[in-house]
Amino acid sequence: MRTVEENQQPLLVGLDTHSRLTDLSSRAIEEFLEHPPVALRWWPRLVAWESRLLWILSGSSIIVSIFNYMLSFVTLMFCGHLSALELAGASIASVGIQGLAYGIMLGMASAVQTVCGQAYGAKQLPAMGIICQRAIILHLGAAILLSFVYWWSGPILVAIGQSEEIAEQGQIFARGIIPQLFAFAINCPQQRFLQAQNIVNPLAYMSVGVFILHILLNWVVVFVVDYGLIGAALTLSFSWWLLVIIYGLYILLSPKCKKTWTGFSWKAFKGMWPYFKLTVASATMLCLEIWYNQGLTLISGLLPNPTISLDSISICMNYWNFSLQFMLGLSAVASVRVSNELGAGNPRVAKFSVFVVNGTSILISIIFSAIILIFRVGLSKLFTSDTDVVEAVLDLTPLLVVSVFLNGIQPILSGVAIGSGWQDVVAYVNLVCYYIIGFPVGCLLGFKASMGVAVLKAADRLDKSANEGNSDLVSA
């Protein structure tokens, strides 16, 4: 009888240490993994092969996600150096008002990626431009409705229990970013339209360039010209419109988009209702997660000393969201890798990809956690010079570190479930963990037990642990 090593022998040539990783194929790895156990000496080559594919797919996408998020991140940093009250107002508007729109827009945009990706794979290239236009029309319609929420954000924030001082500053900031809302409505479909064609490197260059300019503009407008909070908001809007213009010029002028963008067409208005239903389904799943984190910040404004509470948890959530952008890039790649390999009939490679991407995300989370622990004082002072706020952030740092670590696992497992076609399961898991477990526990302990803002982060940690466990069952 042939041994396992003998069965694997014809397949070992591609894994020889002198061969190139680019010469290996998924089918060869699948056949190799069909004969366990795999000798220990082959695992480094297998991990290197999978890691290479992961980073080729995710590198530029992560850069785009991080630097686009950093536009708001930097704006809040400048607002924090105006005063603690203005940081609280900008934070509550950014999370409670702007975040509401982000959840809807990003959820709707995921439908663009799905439909455009299918059209690109089916070689129906002209249809991609029609889909992008249809998405922009729906996004702009949503932006018009949401703009009323932005304009009347002051009374809305007061109605949900925020102090009048914070609500007033929040309204100033929210009204200043209304133009950004419309820019975001156009940019979301543009970005997904390009990504569906595997055009990601140019997007990374554009995002980095606009981000550098954004820092300079914020310094000039906020401190040199002294336009304060409204100046910071308008600068954020300007930077997003700059992204829209650059993306638009690339789509119109690049030879890579010649076959996918054939000009504006009335066909975009046909089939609007089926596409609208798809965007609603996509938005629901993502909003469940995004709005939960906004809710934590909103209820922190109802605690005693709301300015300190809002500022401290806002700073923590900004660093948490920064790490999230990195993980969302890996999550998207995990989804693509799993779906591609399952579609190609390579279940063992798909399972191996899950292990590699989770190991990668855990390593990155450990690095992020270490940075937060080592530089916790300096990171706080990037946002504010108020000693009370800095002390409050230091108290929250241990809980933030745990949340950041768990945040490196949960999105990846969700991405795996999505790649397996289980979006409805992910939605139910999010609903139970975030709204039935995490949110009520945080409210009870934060208000009834008078444990303050720290317990809100603890509830977030508890929720992520539960979400991780549920997602693990799904991926299994």
From CA 112, how far away is CA 134, in angstroms rounded? 9
Residue range 93-137, pLDDT digits in tens: 887 778 778 777 877 777 776 677 667 666 777 888 888 888 898
**Are 354 and 334 in contact, with CB atoms under 8 Å apart?**
yes
From CA 276, how far away is CA 270, in angstroms rounded? 11
pLDDT band of residue 389 (cuts 50, 70, 90) is confident
pLDDT band of residue 305 (cuts 50, 70, 90) is low
> For residue 259, which phi and psi values (nearest 5 degrees)?
-90, -20
* First-to-final CA distance of the chain: 33
- pLDDT at res. 241: 96
pLDDT band of residue 391 (cuts 50, 70, 90) is confident
Q: Would you list the domain boundaries of the chain?
A: 59-270, 285-466
pLDDT band of residue 351 (cuts 50, 70, 90) is confident
- pLDDT at res. 462: 43
From CA 440, how far away is CA 300, in angstroms rounded? 14
Position 468 pLDDT exceeds 50: no
How much is the mean pLDDT over the chain?
75
- What one-letter code names the amino acid at 319? Y
Please, what sign has the CA dihedral across residues 166, 172, 173, 175?
Answer: positive
Closest CA relative to residue 306, chosen from 439, 445, 157, 459: 157
Q: For the chain, what is the largest distance between any 2 Cα atoms, rounded to a whole number of angstroms? A: 82
Q: Tokens standing for 20?
A: 């190139």
From CA 39, how far away is CA 426, in angstroms rounded? 35
pLDDT band of residue 173 (cuts 50, 70, 90) is very high
Q: Give the mean model confidence (pLDDT) for residues 241-259.
A: 91
Position 2 pLDDT exceeds 50: no
Position 470 pLDDT exceeds 60: no
Residue range 181-225, pLDDT digits in tens: 999 999 988 988 887 787 878 888 999 999 999 999 999 998 888
